[in-house]
């Protein structure tokens, strides 16, 4: 039995085998050139052909012809380029690698966004520690409703009481 098709690579050296059992003993002929070795045991004949795979051999294939006085039998061996069956595997691997790269980039962007390193989507949010629009307008008002014991705090450095205009309301700038 001859297996067909046979997956090979171009410029690769392959062994093709043709076996026959017949009486009278048959002879084996190949349709292509190569190094052939015949093995004969009683009425069993096996021919091994060593050949380098070419573009023409891939296109036409090989023919094994077995003949004796009673008849002729031919079998075609179809050779297929192996890279066509591997190309689907390469595409699948490329797709998986692309998916992994997108997943890694997505997770990096997600964690940078969570840490606040990427300001995208934060246009409506304000930072509590650094107000922008009202920074220079913050003023704290302090009024003194305490008695005369604390009124001494409002005296000048020389112990003299300050004028009434100085003792009314005090404003403290807390910007810094």
pTM of the model: 0.46
Give the pLDDT mean for 59-83. 89
Kindly state the percentage of the chain with pLDDT values over 90: 30
Give the tens place of pLDDT for each residue, 110-158.
Answer: 888 888 877 776 555 555 565 555 556 676 666 666 555 555 555 555 6
pLDDT at 169: 59
pLDDT of residue 172: 72
Does 55 have pLDDT greater than 70? yes
Greatest mean pLDDT among 4-8, 131-135, 138-142, 166-170 lies in 4-8
Residues 14, 8 contacting (CB under 8 angstroms): yes
| DSSP code string of 62-113 | EEEEEEETTEEEEEEE-EEETHHHHHHHHHHHHHHHHHHHHHHHHHHHHHHH
Question: Domain spans of the chain?
Answer: 6-81, 85-120
42 band by pLDDT with thresholds 50, 70 and 90:
confident
Supply the mean pLDDT for the chain: 78
Per the CB < 8 A criterion, the answer to whether 11 and 81 are in contact is no
Report the DSSP pairing between strands 6-8 and 79-81. parallel
pLDDT attached to residue 167: 54
Average the pLDDT over 37-64 and give the result. Answer: 90
Give the pLDDT band (50/70/90) at residue 9: confident
Q: Per the structure block, which two tokens stand in for 82?
A: 């192996």
Cβ partners under 8 Å of residue 163, min gap 6: none
pLDDT reported for residue 161: 62
**3-class SS at 27?**
strand
Domain 6-81 matching CATH 2.60.40.10: the answer reads yes
């Amino acid at each position: 039995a001859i297996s067909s098709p046979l997956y090979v690579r171009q410029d690769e050296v392959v062994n093709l085998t043709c076996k026959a059992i017949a009486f009278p003993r048959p002879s084996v002929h190949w349709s292509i050139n190569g190094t052939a070795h015949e093995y004969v045991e009683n009425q069993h004949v096996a021919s091994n052909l060593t050949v380098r795979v070419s573009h023409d051999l891939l296109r036409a294939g090989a023919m094994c012809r077995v003949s004796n006085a009673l008849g002729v039998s031919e079998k075609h061996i179809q050779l297929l380029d192996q890279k066509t069956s591997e190309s689907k595997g390469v595409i699948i691997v490329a797709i998986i690698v692309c998916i992994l790269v997108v997943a890694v980039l997505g997770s990096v962007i997600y964690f940078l966004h969570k840490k606040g390193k990427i300001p995208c989507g934060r246009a409506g949010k304000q930072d509590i520690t650094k107000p922008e629009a009202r920074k220079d307008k913050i003023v704290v008002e302090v009024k003194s409703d305490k008695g005369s014991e604390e009124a001494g705090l409002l005296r000048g450095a020389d112990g003299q009481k300050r004028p009434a205009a100085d003792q009314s309301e005090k404003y403290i700038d807390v910007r810094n």
